[in-house]
Amino acid sequence: MEITRLHVGKRLSEVAIHNNTVYLAGQIATDTSQDIGGQTREVLDAIDKLLNEAGSDRTCILMTQIFITDMANFPGMNAVWDDWVAPGHTPPRATVEATLANPACLVEIVVTAAVR
C-alpha cells in the first residue's frame, strides 16, 4: 500500500494520493480581504494547481464539499463555481453553512479526484 503525500506540514498534508485517488485538504483563500467571488476564485486556482501536481484535473473530480460562512454568499460562490467547473464533468457536491477556523475566510472547498 503506497500513499504519496504532497506539501506535508506539521498539522496536515495538502494532498494525499492512494489507489489512483487524490484527496485534497480543505482549501481557503490567503487574501481574505476579497469578497466571496474573489476568495472562491483563489481557492479554485489553488485546487487546479494541486490537482495538476497530483496528476489530475477538474475533469476528474469525484466529490466536492463546500463550506461557506453565510448562505447569503451562495449565489456569489456559485457564479464563480459555474464558470470554473468543467462542462459535462460536474461532480457530486455538497454545500453547507459553517463557521470556519479563520473568521475572515468566507469559503473552504474540499475535493476528491481520480488520477488522470
| pLDDT tens, position by position, 47-67 | 999 999 999 999 999 999 999
Q: How many domains does the chain contain in total?
A: 1
pLDDT of residue 17: 98
99 Cβ neighbours under 8 A, 6+ residues apart: 69
Joined grid coordinates for residue 52:
495538476
Does some domain include residue 24? yes
Does some domain include residue 34? yes
Does some domain include residue 64? yes
pLDDT of residue 61: 98
What rounded mean pLDDT belongs to the chain?
98
Does some domain include residue 6? no
Q: Which domain holds residue 41?
A: 20-114
Does some domain include residue 15? no
Share of the chain above pLDDT 90, in %: 99
Does some domain include residue 59? yes
Q: What is the 3 state secondary structure string of the chain?
A: CCCEEEEECCCCEEEEEECCEEEECCEECCCCCCCHHHHHHHHHHHHHHHHHHCCCCHHHEEEEEEEECCHHHHHHHHHHHHHHCCCCCCCCEEEEECCCCCCCCCEEEEEEEECC
Average pLDDT over residues 69-84: 98
Whether the per-residue pLDDT at 98 is higher than 90: the answer is yes
Does some domain include residue 100? yes
Does some domain include residue 11? no
**CATH code for position 28:** 3.30.1330.40
